[in-house]
Chain A
Amino acid sequence: MKPPKFEYHAPRTVDEALALLGRYGGDAKVLAGGQSLMPLLNFRLARPAALVDLNRIPSLAFIEESGGRVRLGAMTRQRTIEFSPVVAQRLPLLKEATRWVGHLPIRTRGTIGGSIAHADPSAEYPAVLTALEGEVVARGAKGERVIKAADLFQTYLTTTLTPDEILTEVRLPAMAAGAGYALEEFSRRHGDFAIIGIAAVVVRDGQRCKTARLATAGAGPVPVRLRAAEEILERDGLGEAAIEAAARKATELVDPDSDIHASADYRRHLTGVLTKRALVRAIGVARG
């Protein structure tokens, strides 16, 4: 479990990094926290000619709030997010999700950009990005573009980012004041990737539901936005029957795979269970 030979670069700016990526014509990989990339290298599943290390580019690590949204630099560590007052106030769902990402040492290195670019279907951040209808900023040789969550994730470990692009920023709309939220997850062990995870946001108006947002982790090759389940709540309100119906609907909306930890049937079952739990908890903390 030693990586094959690669060249290593540690640029100081995004422009330098982009130039390096261009030089290798798609045969270089960006190194962020290394928590997913290093195992891939050690297993020799990834064999890039070069690594372009982003850890020495200070401009990529920041959390800023303006105009009703929060911008997070791609190299912002998960541990920083966990303790950020801005995140706690404006994106409490992201804060809650961070608790579920691995263990402390992993979060200390792992980044939000790395987690999203890596696009593990069982990861929490892609589900949060999907639920909150966020977007990412990608920079490449041809300039900058903004990609919506719905257009980002293609399949397992695959996004619409091109090999010569760097994800520089994650943008999330600040959650409405009083919005209820929850991330419910089932994994075999504390700190493991989700067998199934459900991110939920509910904006309520008494027993009425102004908006509901539901997204999955672990229920297929990409995070799944459970729009038809959200609609049930937005139409029928936040009563028990609506929650039950939404949870039932959620199980119909996913098409999970089987692996040695959980069959597709069991994952579908969990999707319903956790959707219900997430909604009950989100509604419980929602104000308005």
Chain B
Amino acid sequence: MTDPRSVGPAALPRLVGARVARREDPRFLTGQGSYVDDHRPARLLYAAFLRSPQAHARIVAIDASAALALPGVTAVLTGEEIARASKPVRAASKTPAVKVTSFPPLALGKVRHVGEAVAMIAAENRYVAEDAVERIVVEYEPLPLITDMERALEAASPLVHEEAGTNLLVAREFARGDVDAALASAAVVVRERFRFHRHTAICMENRGCLAEYATGSGTLTLRSSAQCPGIVRDVLTDLLDMPEHQIRVIAEDVGGGFGAKASLYPEEIATCVMARRLGRPVKWIGDRREDLLATTHAWDEIIDAELGLDRDGAIVGLRAQVTADIGAYSIYPWTAAIEPVQTISFLPGPYRVPTYRGRTRGVATCKTPLGPYRGVGRPPAVFVIEGLMDRAARRLGLDPTEIRLRNFIRDEDFPYKSPSGIVWDRASFTASLLRAREAMDYDAVRAEQARARAAGRWLGIGVASYVELTGIGSAIPVAPGVPIATGTEAATIRVDPAGKVTAVFGVASHGQGLETTLAQIVADEVGVPIEDVRVLHGDTALSPYGTGTYASRSLVLAGGAAIMAGRAVREKMLTIAGHLLEADPADLVPAAGRLAVRGMPDRSVTVREIARAAYTGVKQLPKGLEPGLEATRFYDPYYGTASNATHLAVVEVDRATCHVSVLRYLVVEDCGRMVNPLIVDGQVHGGVAQGLGAALLEEIVYDEHGQLLSGTLMDYVVPSACEVPWMEVHHLETPSPVTLGGFRGMGEGGTIGAPAAIANAVADALAPLGVEVAELPVTPERIFRLVSRGP
């Protein structure tokens, strides 16, 4: 752990904080990105997977002879064959809260969800591969279905994983104080059964991977559309029983991830095994149908929650139970616990909650596995706590902003330990809400609402305030009990003999603009123009050890490492420059691309001259100084840091059609010191768009047979540009006292606040009818049923 107070200002603090245009965009906008599918090595084979049409069935026999007989087909792989080449994936956890189960790369013995990969074909092109897939004959013996998470908990329910002896794979409880007594004596108790339906990420680039095995050197290279190349490399080592230095995982340009590409996937393993077996490159590019069937889903929780308050509207206790449908498998490395445990951990929100009991359960069913998705657990948690706050405000006759102001963790409470044990370093809950009220002219909008109501219109205002934990260090794992190191990241900064800078990171950028923000930090620290900095990432062979990009961590962790490595390089540059100029390094001042002696601008050396001396001018270096100009540093922010925001939404519900229009959307966010406000805005915009999808449109639907009904983008409805409202984004900058640079993570926030803000706005619009919004997405159909049924 590095104490932030021990680090002074950057060499040339000019770029951090500036709206620097994204350096990766010219490449993307001119079609020069380098995605997995852009790579076509010689002798390439194309893969396709046979996927289960059944939700739960025993595999009696697989006959692939007709497929293999098809011209152009090279090989087939089944569960039994792959079991000889790869171990099954077992997402381990150090906590007893999680039951560890196996996830075979190809179904073994039985299938557990529609879309599960059963067999793999390698062929000369994808067309033939799909023809071959159709010719594989699988005999299935249907098993009793398990599709309802609550029924799956009944003793008589069939089991998804016999080895677990139960479908309850995750069970955990957090408690503080005597919540039962607090609720029993509370002046007001509001309770609700909330339902947050299943969701999925929909990345522009579907998942895909390309494995090449060099038989001569015994090295395996996997290109994957993945967020965490480091994690994939490490686990392949174990699964395939190969040494780490022989495996290289590359995630070059990745077209979106949103958490859904943060886990290890069966197709990655199968592609490696196939390439190794055939000694030929094998590529699999998932199509949209596969993406909807076999990329992890999100949320899918029932949350029963009760909030007690005293007469003044101060919270006295919160009691809740989360039940999550985690689907058929516990995913690596995060386990089935990631969503349900995060939800219950974050449920108390930004409030002082003196007593709490939160129980959470993760239940296996015959559906696509649940995984992390932008916000993990927090979008449902915020929907619940903010929904309860509004219900309480209505009961107490308080304005929703007022009840929040009465309960926020106050500035003097920091650092504040939440009932689930999270430590909030410092945040601006009150300030962000007040600023949001002011920016919206809240009272005027309330007055307008009163007029609209009088005219019979359904206009509503929704508030959501949240806090999220970002930049998590080694004190706690990102997901409960995962045995991998999520708390550190490294940076290597190398100044070449020409004085240009290459900065290499173990994180991977897949839309966040890290090639820009990290370059800004490096340029300031080393003291060079940004044009002289090149950022490399997403390649385990190039980078120092690291896991990847997830959990709003990369700017905090990789940015901190960049500061440390940049300082080390800078230090050495000063030493060399002092020697060259025959001056005390302490007397040197930076100017663009050079260092000069204070007060004597013509006594200076350029970065290029310093670099040249570092590599080639051994005689020019101070005695004993090691040549070269590079440094690798690891950074661990230890606890992590809070990031917070208030979202305000104004909506109108069409009384006749039940359509929801978002009339205004306003965000006041605080991610500490901003490296690049342009990119912060972009992250908020994208996050809110996804949160709006969750609030109003997107829902993964299964029927009672476990068949996916939302299996195309006509049925899984994501917002398009036409559905996304204009957003007003305001910033507060409360530097984190605990991270290098004062940065806080902010990649997920938009998605965390938007579902609750929009749900609360719809509920506010419908309040005169006495109905509540307890289910998301709140589709026109659901509103129609709510308003037809009445309170």
Q: Do the beta carbons of A189 and B781 come within 8 Å of each other?
A: no
Q: What is the distance, in angstroms, from A207's C-beta to the closest C-beta of chain B?
A: 24
The answer to whether A2 has its CB under 8 Å from any CB of chain B is yes
- In residues 538-580 of chain B, which contact A (Cβ within 8 Å)? none
Which of B288, B701, B780 is in CB contact (< 8 Å) with A266? B780
Q: Do the beta carbons of B723 and A190 come within 8 Å of each other?
A: yes
Q: Do the beta carbons of B130 and A262 come within 8 Å of each other?
A: no
The answer to whether B467 has its CB under 8 Å from any CB of chain A is no
Q: What is the distance, in angstroms, from B24's C-beta to the closest C-beta of chain A?
A: 26
- In residues 35-51 of chain A, which contact B (Cβ within 8 Å)? 43-44
Q: Which residues of B contact A2 (CB under 8 A)?
A: 126-127, 130
Cα separation A270 to B720 with both chains bound (whole Å): 23
Q: Do the beta carbons of A1 and B288 come within 8 Å of each other?
A: yes
Q: How many A-B residue pairs have CB under 8 A?
A: 61
Q: With CB as the reference atom, state the residue of chain B lying closest to A263.
A: B781
The answer to whether B435 has its CB under 8 Å from any CB of chain A is no
Cα separation A44 to B723 with both chains bound (whole Å): 31
Q: Do the beta carbons of B720 and A260 come within 8 Å of each other?
A: no
The answer to whether B30 has its CB under 8 Å from any CB of chain A is no
Q: Given A262-B780, A262-B781, A273-B656, A188 and B710 touching (CB < 8 A)?
A: no
Which of A186, A189, A270, A274 is in CB contact (< 8 Å) with B697? A189
Which of A188, A260, A266, A274 is in CB contact (< 8 Å) with B709? A260
The answer to whether B6 has its CB under 8 Å from any CB of chain A is no
Q: What is the distance, in angstroms, from A119's C-beta to the closest C-beta of chain B?
A: 17
**Complex interface: stretch among B15-23, B365-373, B662-670, B711-719:** B711-719
Cα separation A270 to B699 with both chains bound (whole Å): 22
Cα separation A269 to B722 with both chains bound (whole Å): 25
Cα separation A188 to B659 with both chains bound (whole Å): 8
Q: Do the beta carbons of A189 and B719 come within 8 Å of each other?
A: yes
Q: Do the beta carbons of B288 and A189 come within 8 Å of each other?
A: no
Cα separation A269 to B425 with both chains bound (whole Å): 52
Which of B288, B710, B784 is in CB contact (< 8 Å) with A269? B784
Q: Do the beta carbons of A188 and B288 come within 8 Å of each other?
A: no
Q: Do the beta carbons of B127 and A189 come within 8 Å of each other?
A: no
Cα separation A188 to B692 with both chains bound (whole Å): 13
The answer to whether B289 has its CB under 8 Å from any CB of chain A is yes
Q: Do the beta carbons of B714 and A192 come within 8 Å of each other?
A: yes
A: number of interface residues (CB 8 Å): 25
Q: Which residues of B contact A192 (CB under 8 A)?
A: 714, 717
When each residue 122-140 of chain B gets 1 if its CB lies under 8 Å from chain A and 0 otherwise, what string results? 0000110011001000000
The answer to whether A142 has its CB under 8 Å from any CB of chain B is no
Q: With CB as the reference atom, state the residue of chain B lying closest to A188.
A: B717
Q: Do the beta carbons of A261 and B287 come within 8 Å of each other?
A: no
Interface centre among A193, A263, A266, A269 (most CB of B within 10 A): A266
The answer to whether B657 has its CB under 8 Å from any CB of chain A is yes
Which of A5, A260, A266 is in CB contact (< 8 Å) with B784? A266
When each residue 256-288 of chain A gets 1 if its CB lies under 8 Å from chain B and 0 otherwise, what string results? 000011110110011001100100000000000
Q: With CB as the reference atom, state the residue of chain A lying closest to B710.
A: A260
- In residues 177-205 of chain B, which contact A (Cβ within 8 Å)? none
The answer to whether A206 has its CB under 8 Å from any CB of chain B is no
Q: Do the beta carbons of A191 and B720 come within 8 Å of each other?
A: yes
Cα separation A5 to B722 with both chains bound (whole Å): 37
The answer to whether A26 has its CB under 8 Å from any CB of chain B is no
Q: Which residues of B contact A43 (CB under 8 A)?
A: 289
Q: Do the beta carbons of B657 and A273 come within 8 Å of each other?
A: yes
Q: Do the beta carbons of A190 and B657 come within 8 Å of each other?
A: no
Interface centre among B288, B710, B714, B719 (most CB of A within 10 A): B714
Q: Given A189-B719, A270-B657, A261 and B131 touching (CB < 8 A)?
A: no
When each residue 178-205 of chain A gets 1 if its CB lies under 8 Å from chain B and 0 otherwise, what string results? 0000000010111111000000000000
Q: Do the beta carbons of B781 and A266 come within 8 Å of each other?
A: yes
Cα separation A191 to B718 with both chains bound (whole Å): 12
Q: Which residues of B contact A189 (CB under 8 A)?
A: 697, 717, 719-720, 722-723
Q: Do the beta carbons of B127 and A5 come within 8 Å of each other?
A: yes
Q: Do the beta carbons of A260 and B656 come within 8 Å of each other?
A: no
Q: What is the distance, in angstroms, from A200's C-beta to the closest C-beta of chain B?
A: 16
When each residue 432-476 of chain B gets 1 if its CB lies under 8 Å from chain A and 0 otherwise, what string results? 000000000000000000000000000000000000000000000
When each residue 1-31 of chain A gets 1 if its CB lies under 8 Å from chain B and 0 otherwise, what string results? 1111100000000000000000000000000
Q: Given A260-B715, A273-B656, A273-B657, A188 and B127 touching (CB < 8 A)?
A: no
Q: What is the distance, in angstroms, from B652's C-beta to the closest C-beta of chain A?
A: 15
Cα separation A151 to B645 with both chains bound (whole Å): 59
Interface centre among B715, B722, B780 (most CB of A within 10 A): B780
Q: Do the beta carbons of A186 and B657 come within 8 Å of each other?
A: yes
Q: Which residues of B contact A277 (CB under 8 A)?
A: 656
When each residue 153-193 of chain A gets 1 if its CB lies under 8 Å from chain B and 0 otherwise, what string results? 00000000000000000000000000000000010111111
Q: What is the distance, in angstroms, from A113's C-beta to the closest C-beta of chain B?
A: 22
Q: Which residues of A contact B720 (CB under 8 A)?
A: 189-191
When each residue 698-710 of chain B gets 1 if its CB lies under 8 Å from chain A and 0 otherwise, what string results? 0101000000011
Cα separation A282 to B240 with both chains bound (whole Å): 69
Q: Do the beta carbons of A186 and B659 come within 8 Å of each other?
A: yes
Q: Which residues of A contact B126 (CB under 8 A)?
A: 2
Cα separation A190 to B658 with both chains bound (whole Å): 16
Q: Do the beta carbons of A190 and B722 come within 8 Å of each other?
A: yes
Q: Which residues of A contact B127 (CB under 8 A)?
A: 2-3, 5
Q: What is the distance, in angstroms, from A105's C-beta to the closest C-beta of chain B?
A: 13
Q: Given A1-B287, A1-B288, A43-B289, A188 and B130 touching (CB < 8 A)?
A: no
Cα separation A192 to B719 with both chains bound (whole Å): 11
Q: With CB as the reference atom, state the residue of chain B lying closest to A184.
A: B657
Q: Which residues of B contact A3 (CB under 8 A)?
A: 127
Q: With CB as the reference atom, state the residue of chain A lying closest to B697.
A: A188
Q: Which residues of A contact B715 (CB under 8 A)?
A: 260-261
Q: What is the distance, in angstroms, from B371's C-beta to the closest C-beta of chain A?
A: 23
Q: Do the beta carbons of A4 and B289 come within 8 Å of each other?
A: no
Cα separation A190 to B785 with both chains bound (whole Å): 23
Cα separation A5 to B129 with both chains bound (whole Å): 12
Q: Do the beta carbons of A1 and B289 come within 8 Å of each other?
A: yes
Q: With CB as the reference atom, state the residue of chain A lying closest to B699.
A: A260
Q: With CB as the reference atom, state the residue of chain B lying closest to A276.
A: B656
Which of A1, A186, A193 is in CB contact (< 8 Å) with B714? A193
Q: Given A1-B288, A43-B289, A260-B709, A188 and B131 touching (CB < 8 A)?
A: no
Q: With CB as the reference atom, state the residue of chain A lying closest to B656.
A: A273
- In residues 714-763 of chain B, which contact A (Cβ within 8 Å)? 714-715, 717, 719-720, 722-723
Q: Which residues of B contact A270 (CB under 8 A)?
A: 657
Q: With CB as the reference atom, state the residue of chain A lying closest to B125.
A: A2
Q: Do the beta carbons of B722 and A4 come within 8 Å of each other?
A: no
Q: What is the distance, in angstroms, from B696's C-beta to the closest C-beta of chain A?
A: 9
Q: Which residues of B contact A269 (CB under 8 A)?
A: 784
Q: Which residues of A contact B697 (CB under 8 A)?
A: 188-189
- In residues 222-280 of chain A, which contact B (Cβ within 8 Å)? 260-263, 265-266, 269-270, 273-274, 277
Task: Show 12 A/B contacts (Cβ-Cβ < 8 Å), sorted by A.
Answer: A1-B288, A43-B289, A186-B657, A189-B697, A190-B722, A191-B720, A260-B701, A260-B715, A261-B779, A262-B780, A265-B784, A273-B657
Q: A1-B288, A186-B780, A261-B779 are in contact. List 5 more A-B contacts (CB 8 A).
A: A1-B287, A4-B134, A190-B720, A260-B701, A269-B784
Among all A-B residue pairs, the 4 with the closest Cβ atoms: A190-B722, A1-B287, A273-B656, A2-B127
